[in-house]
Structures are given as C-alpha cells and as structure tokens.
Amino acid sequence: MKKDDPASGLPSEALLSPAEHAAFSLESSRCSLRQAVERAMANYFADVDDEGLISDLYELVLSEVEAPLLQAVLKQTDGNQSRASTMLGLNRGTLRKKLKQHGLLNFRQNGLSD
C-alpha cells in the first residue's frame, strides 16, 4: 500500500487495489471507533464531580460496549454464532456465555432476542 498521494503523503484511494482499499477502510473505521470511545470517556469524566465515586470503571465500560458489539456482530452474521465467534476471535463456548450474560442467547437477525 505504498501508493501515496503526493500532496498529502497518504495513500490515494484511487490508486489502491481492492484489497488495499478494504484494508485502508478498515483502518479508518478502527480510528473512528477509537475516537468515539475517547470522546465518550472524556464526556464521562467531564460529568464526574468526585473521582472517589468512580469504581469498577473497566467493568462498566466493558459491559456498556460488549452488548452492542455482540448484537452488531450477530446481525452481521445473520445470527450465526459460529461465524460470529470467528469474527470476534472467541471460541464458540465463550461467545455463548457472553450472549447468555447479556440476554442475547436467542438473538435473531431482526435484532430481537427471545
């Protein structure tokens, strides 16, 4: 992916192969996701008057992020847990445990769970 736009030094999307374009788009999405989390955390801390009241922040963030992540991946894979576990890099048993924990074990493609 060394095809750079001379003006910016960045890869020119017009010069990228389909595989390079996909990798570039994925990296851009990762950057956007990271920025969204950074903004959310900055907003969270801006609303906190007493840091002494904050505990278990790591678990709080994970619990707030994990459920929508699982829902999005299940929707993307049409509810196929094997494909979802591969996409997430989890073994299927771990995925099922997390789905149960978040009430998503019977998640259907339309976004509802039984």
- Under DSSP, is residue 4 helix (H, G, I), strand (E, B) or coil? strand
**At residue 64, what is the residue type?**
E
Length of the chain: 114
The answer, yes or no, to whether residue 41 has pLDDT greater than 50, is yes
pLDDT one-digit tens code per residue, 45-58: 999 888 888 899 99
Q: What contacts 13, CB < 8 A, 6 or more positions away?
A: 21, 24
pLDDT one-digit tens code per residue, 59-90: 999 989 999 999 999 999 999 999 999 999 99
